[in-house]
Amino acid sequence: MLILLLIFIHNMKIRVKISMVLCLAILVIGCNKNSDVTQVVPGQKGEIKLNFTNMVGADPIILNSQSYTNFNGDTFYVNTFNYYISNIQFTRMDDSIVREENSYHLIEADKPQTFSFNCKRIPFGQYKSITFTIGVDSLRNVSGAQSGALDPVHNMFWSWSSGYLFTKLEGTSPQSPSGNIAFHIAGFSGPYNSLKTVTLNFPYNAIVSNYIKPVVKLKADILEMFVNPSTIKFGIVNNVTTVGALAKSMADNYADMFSVIEIEN
């Protein structure tokens, strides 16, 4: 018993010594800006690049000048197509999850520079799927003036009924009595909550390492907004610009509009 206790105390001393050495080491590493980052193995972080391609069925979207036909047979042109991708998380092989910090991204079809962005501070490792929200979570919708992608200057914010638009599609269609179509989908609370969170499995793992910054190529298919489960006929539904049952049903429709094209490691 006494021996055990002595060993314990001895170990304690060793532990204290070890921790002191560790502290010193951390201090030294912290102070030494020239330390070679590649040598520190645990906790290393890299990036995953996301790239979005906006499609209408099989065709990449061409704004304003290209006519498309939806599953209902309605023809339409697209002038604006914007959407928020937020709260991105990646799932590892062991089902553990890595979240992107401050994860709010606005993709605008008329601004190619918004199609790609890097998710930073992603720990090295292999990832099998991505999860994200289409839209902006309820907390950010009630937290006052925001910046960056959430800056209201992007015209993705309702001034009269505070909250961010999750998706915005505007264009024209001969089937619409007014000639115009406008779908501003929002609603972060209550029975007409239109937030959609999607998980997409990768065809093979995205590998984040010293040497690899993987690119996850995704596509968004506009046609999915108008079908399954609710068929949208532009002759009847052509202007959805408030929260409500219609906005929610269109969000239900577009919940499956994203898919992974490929992973580039």
Partner 1 sequence: MKTGIVFICCLLFIACTSNNKHNLSIDQLDFSYPDFWPQPTYTFKGNALTHKRIALGKKLFFDKRLSSDSTISCESCHHQKKAFSDGEYKFSFGVNGKQSLRNTPALFNLAWSKTFMWDGGVNHIEFQPIAPITNPLEMNESMEHVIHNIATSNEYQLLFKEAYDTDSITSQLVLKAFAQFLGSLVSYDSKYDRIMRKYKEYSFIDEEAKGYVLFKKSCASCHTEPLFTNHAFENNGLSLAKVNPDYGRLLITKLAEDSMKFKVPSLRNLQFTAPYMHDGRFRTLSEVIDHYSSGIVNYPNKSHKLDYMPKFTRDEKQQLIAFLQTLDDPDFCLKPMR
Which residues of this protein are in contact with partner 1, per CB under 8 A?
31, 141-147, 151-153, 155, 157, 159-163, 190-192, 242-245
For residue 147, the minimal CB distance to partner 1 (Å) is: 4
| Residue with Cβ nearer partner 1 (2 or 31) | 31
For residue 139, the minimal CB distance to partner 1 (Å) is: 12
For residue 30, the minimal CB distance to partner 1 (Å) is: 12
| Residue with Cβ nearer partner 1 (112 or 144) | 144
For residue 146, the minimal CB distance to partner 1 (Å) is: 6
The DSSP output letter for 23 is: H
The DSSP output letter for 111 is: -
> Could you give phi then psi for residue 109, rounded to 5 degrees?
-60, -20
How many angstroms separate the CA atoms of 108 and 155, rounded? 11
In Å, how far are 118, 145, 146, 148 from 152, measured between CA atoms?
22, 8, 8, 9
- E-strand ranges in 18-149 read 45-56, 59-60, 68-69, 75-92, 97-99, 104-108, 116-123, 125-134
For residue 148, the minimal CB distance to partner 1 (Å) is: 9
How many angstroms separate the CA atoms of 206 and 214, rounded? 6
